[in-house]
């Protein structure tokens, strides 16, 4: 998608502070962090939500999960804990319609989320 912000990061058209990259997945720092550690894991492929991925392409989420797993270990987030968030649609507050897993850590977090 030519006008998608995260597709632009995938293409290198806009910069990102990358912390991990593997197998068609990029993990980079959120530009407006909501926690001391706030990373975003995105697949190269453009889908707005997980439910839009055909079963034949669901390997995408396996690759995203593998990158998240490697990142939380690399960044030592597995010691104190972390939260993963995937927003979709208006009521969730999704701002960028390209699947991304938020990785949040570094402070206590409330439950349920607002």
3-state percent breakdown (helix, strand, coil) of the chain, nearest 5: 30, 20, 50
Binding mask 68-107 for Zn ion (x = CB under 5 A): ------------------------------x---------
Q: Judge whether 58 and 70 are in contact, CB under 8 Å.
A: no
2-61: contacts with Zn ion (CB under 5 A): 4, 6-7, 46
With binding defined as CB under 6 A, does residue 3 bind ligand 5GP?
no
Q: Characterize the bridge pairing of strands 25-29 and 18-22.
A: antiparallel
* DSSP type of residue 34: S
Euclidean distance between CA atoms 100 and 54, whole angstroms: 17
70-109: contacts with ligand 5GP (CB under 6 A): 87, 93-96
With binding defined as CB under 6 A, does residue 16 bind ligand 5GP?
yes
Taking the CA atoms of 50, 86, 30 and 71 in sequence, report the sign of the dihedral they define: negative
Query: Min. distance of Cβ 23 from Zn ion in angstroms?
Result: 18
Question: Nearest to residue 48, comparing CAs of 104, 90, 103?
Answer: 90
Query: Min. distance of Cβ 99 from Zn ion in angstroms?
Result: 8
With binding defined as CB under 6 A, does residue 28 bind ligand 5GP?
yes
100 is catalytic: yes
39-58: contacts with ligand 5GP (CB under 6 A): 40
- What residues line the site for ligand 5GP (CB under 6 A)? 5, 16, 28-32, 40, 87, 93-96
């Amino acid at each position: 998608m030519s006008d998608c912000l995260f597709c632009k990061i995938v293409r290198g058209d806009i910069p990102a502070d990358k912390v991990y990259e593997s197998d068609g997945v990029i993990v980079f720092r959120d530009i407006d962090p909501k926690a001391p550690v706030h990373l975003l894991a995105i697949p190269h492929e453009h889908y707005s939500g997980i439910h839009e991925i055909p079963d034949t392409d669901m390997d995408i989420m396996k690759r995203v999960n593998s990158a998240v797993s490697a990142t939380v270990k690399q960044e030592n987030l597995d010691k104190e804990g972390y939260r993963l968030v995937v927003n979709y649609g208006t009521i969730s507050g999704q701002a960028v319609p390209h699947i991304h897993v938020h990785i949040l850590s570094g402070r206590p977090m409330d439950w349920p989320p607002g």
